[in-house]
Structure 1
Amino acid sequence: MNNKVWYPYSQMQLNESRYKVVHAEKEYITLDNGKQLIDGVSSWWAAIHGYNHPELNEALSEQANKFAHIMLGGLTHKPAEDFAEKLVQITPKGLNHVFFSDSGSVAVEVGLKMAIQYWSNKGEKAKCKFVSLKKAYHGDTFKAMEVGDDSDYQNSYNHILNKGFYTSIPKGGFNCSKDELMEALRELGSILKAHSDEIAGFIVEPIMQGAGGFQIYSPEYLTEAKKMCSDFNVLFIADEVATGFGRTGKLFACEHASITPDILILGKALTAGYIGHAATLSTDIVYDAFLGSTYEEAFMHGPTFMGNPLACAVGLKSYEIFEREDYLNKIKHIETHFKVAFSDYQHKDIHQIRICGCMLVIEVVDEDCVNGFKDYAVEKGLWLRPFGKYIYATPPYIISKEGLEFIISGLLEWFEKKQL
């Protein structure tokens, strides 16, 4: 084997097929053989404007001509200050402080460290564990793995991970029954009641779980869970790395439940797929616990590339485009197209179809049902990359009606062929 690049989530000895990209424009990826693919997954949910966007290119170039990077240790700069101000303006009210980092996983680590030190600074050092949802995925760094419940990503490390507590989402999806809601809340309540003296926070992917299986659940659960966390002195942490910036149909998924988390984590679409960057926001209550006369109380964390000016310039321009072009309305139309095509669709190989905002997932009954799908999709002219029992589509918000219909027809054709 002569691989110089060690690829993610790959058994390198299997020499999986990989397609070399030479150009990308709007929703299209061009391969080295000249074939064009419609990107149905936005490069892991990040490229919400598609590719090669002229305004984002210009923002990047203009900032690069001034300075590409400045450390935030002892220095500051306008792009970071302006971007932080914008994030405070658009996120749920009360999140007034922004800590930048360079990836979603690191932003999760930052949020968890904040929660632990928050309680430590208040004299409650025993509060250092977390509650998370079953099937949660929060990233691949160590503390992020500890609050995750997706064993496929963690099997090699389970023997050294200091796991916390796990609780179920309500059954029944977005509009669950009262009984389903109460059952899930009782489970969470029993954990908080028994262990609140050692729990620092409850971390969730609001409304929609990502790599753990694209499960969708009730906003009312989040509303009530936030109240319970307040009652039991537990911080509520919302990981919106995947859901933030419109993916569920709201700008932030927390808005479905009208809640402000104590800590909010953003990534992926934050910088439109141009530069890896992330942000961890906190309320005044959390932030104020780090203020004092000594550095012992300060938050001693500082990624080299935090607040990178290129990333901040692109992030600012990205949201400007998002708002100006009314992306939430575009997302609503995408969701409607998905629902018209799939809400009543049934197939012997399909267990369940779930749709939320600009996300469609087809959960099949067995992993064998997706064997060969990736190569089929490429031959068809699509980039859709299933994993496990899930075929999912999270296209760029700028996708044309024709491009969206092409994704839908490609998915339907796959299952129709298997029907024969």
Structure 2
Amino acid sequence: MDDIESWFRKGLDHIWLPYAQMKTQPDPAPISSTEGARLNMADGTTLIDGVGSWWTSVHGYNHPALLKAAHEQLETMPHIMLGGLAHEQAYRLASRLSQVTPGDLCRTFFTESGSVAVEVAMKVAVQYAMNRTGARRTRFVSFKGGYHGDTFATMSVCDPEEGMHSLFAGVVPEQYVVDLPDTDDRAAALDRLLSGHDDIAAVIVEPLIQGAGGMHMHSPETLKALREVCDRHGVLLIFDEIFTGFGRTGEIFAADRAGVTPDILCLGKALTGGVTPLAATIASRKVYDAFHTDSPEYALMHGPTFTGHAIGCAVANAGLDLFENEPRLEQVRAIERQLLDELAPLSSQPGVADVRICGAVAAVEFEKDFNVNAARSWFIERGTFIRPLGTVVYLTPAYVIEAADLSSLTNAVSEFAESRVV
């Protein structure tokens, strides 16, 4: 690799980074290579990755099976359009997803990113009502603390008070954003909302864990209540499992852990183990049947250029092989036990508001705000990469992380809490 000055310093004057005030943010950590759960910096030092590149690298970086699949597909056929053409990897992957997802989720539409997968789910929900009855159901119910993406439609179903999107109030469509039905009173309020409005196409939720909104967690019973109320009022239920899908909660899908099947399921991130972009929107037979007619206007008119990207689908198929052949869920459950042992005691630490753990996710929430940029630098100085969300310091490591490396992460979080940096 070229000297760091030839790409990093020069590039900083031209790149626009995500979720960053470029004028005040400290320099990002330049990484030269990755391996397992580790990031190798350009200066030769190593960071233990506690975030997994926004929760994608569940199999660890550079897993040979994923790299082999990408390399072989690259040499054979990197990509062809799915409009009028077909390739094996996308068709095999769609078939396999219908087998591993719960219930009768049977038809997969591929996109390049999670946000677009949610956009497609919303589009499908609106058109489903029109195709079936001609009804104009154009609004959605989502939940406080939720996050579903940064594109315009997905911003509308995020928590409107959430800092990333509050500037766009009045620009994005107004939706019904309410409390999760995790109490009898809130469940009754949701029931009244659905019974009193005939413009609602679907309810959308991040099942069990609301990720980017702060790693808020709820029970399977909450999802069962959602399924019941949606069925009662003839409203579709969308699960956004872009974060929770593929083992993060201890089962392949959060839907499995809850025993609830949605009408539409959105997947991404861990689908390809962080190797390539790929996302999926999977519809139930009931939903798909509303589109499957002789009438062309009933078709789903959506088609990203790289839908069903051949390399991405090949890597995703290899990733499903790893879930079948390697002990991923056992690894997640071992991580959960270790996180409970090593972080749960922080709940009694002064300044700590809450400790939440589910599967390979841990969140330590602090009572007061702290400087997130300073905290990131603080963790890097201790050989870890941990990227807080507001007042929440969280861990979402690769499932293959060694116990000693996981302890290094939890020790860093504990030291952070005890140091009164906050």
Tell me, yes or no, whether TM beats 0.5. Answer: yes
Q: 1:119 aligned to 2:132? A: no
Residue aligned with 2:380, SS: helix
Amino acid at match of 2:175: G
Q: 1:401 to 1:304 in 2, by over 3 A?
A: same
Residue 133 of structure 1: CA displacement?
Answer: 1.0
Q: Which of 365, 376, 379 matches 1:377?
A: 379
Deviations 1:228-282, CA, capped at 9 Å, x for gaps: 1011010010000000001111110011221111000000001110111100000
- Output the CA distance in 2 between the equivalents of 1:200 and 1:83: 28
Amino acid at match of 2:13: N
CA contact (8 A) 2:110 2:308 kept: yes
Amino acid at match of 1:406: S
Task: Tell me what 2:412 maps to.
Answer: 410
What percent identity do the matched residue pairs reach? Answer: 40
Residue 371 of structure 1: CA displacement?
Answer: 6.2
Task: Tell me what 2:174 maps to.
Answer: 163
Deviations 1:69-88, CA, capped at 9 Å, x for gaps: 01000001100011111111
Q: 1:419 to 1:384 in 2, by over 3 A?
A: closer
How do 1:62-211 and structure 2 match up within 5 A? Answer: 62-150=72-160, 151-170=162-181, 180=183, 182-195=184-197, 197-211=198-212
C-alpha RMSD of matched pairs (Å):
1.5
- Output the CA distance in 1 between the equivalents of 2:159 and 2:242: 17
Q: 1:56 aligned to 2:66? A: yes
- Output the CA distance in 2 between the equivalents of 1:8 and 1:371: 14
Residue 124 of structure 1: CA displacement?
Answer: 3.5
Name which of structure 1's ranges 318-327 and 129-138 shifts more when overlaid on structure 2.
318-327
Q: 1:96 to 1:419 in 2, by over 3 A?
A: closer
CA contact (8 A) 2:370 2:421 kept: no
Q: 1:331 to 1:350 in 2, by over 3 A?
A: same
Task: Tell me what 1:177 maps to.
Answer: none
Residue 128 of structure 1: CA displacement?
Answer: 1.0
Residue 311 of structure 1: CA displacement?
Answer: 0.4
Task: Tell me what 1:256 maps to.
Answer: 257
Q: Which of 34, 37, 53 matches 1:43?
A: 53
Residue 103 of structure 1: CA displacement?
Answer: 0.2
Q: 1:370 to 1:12 in 2, by over 3 A?
A: closer
Residue 5 of structure 1: CA displacement?
Answer: 1.2
Residue 419 of structure 1: CA displacement?
Answer: 8.4
- Output the CA distance in 1 between the equivalents of 2:238 and 2:179: 16
Q: 1:239 aligned to 2:240? A: yes
Q: 1:30 to 1:371 in 2, by over 3 A?
A: closer
Residue 125 of structure 1: CA displacement?
Answer: 3.1
Name which of structure 1's ranges 337-346 and 138-147 shifts more when overlaid on structure 2.
337-346
TM-score, with length taken from structure 1: 0.95
CA contact (8 A) 1:349 1:369 kept: no
How do 1:231-380 and structure 2 match up within 5 A? Answer: 231-345=232-346, 346-368=348-370, 372-380=374-382
- Output the CA distance in 1 between the equivalents of 2:26 and 2:212: 21
Kindly tell me the number of residue pairs found equivalent between the two proteins: 410
Residue 370 of structure 1: CA displacement?
Answer: 5.2
CA contact (8 A) 1:203 1:236 kept: yes
Which consecutive residues of structure 2, in runs of 5 or more, have no partner in the other structure?
1-9
Task: Tell me what 2:44 maps to.
Answer: 34
CA contact (8 A) 1:170 1:218 kept: no
CA contact (8 A) 2:69 2:315 kept: yes
- Output the CA distance in 2 between the equivalents of 1:291 and 1:54: 40
TM-score, with length taken from structure 2: 0.94
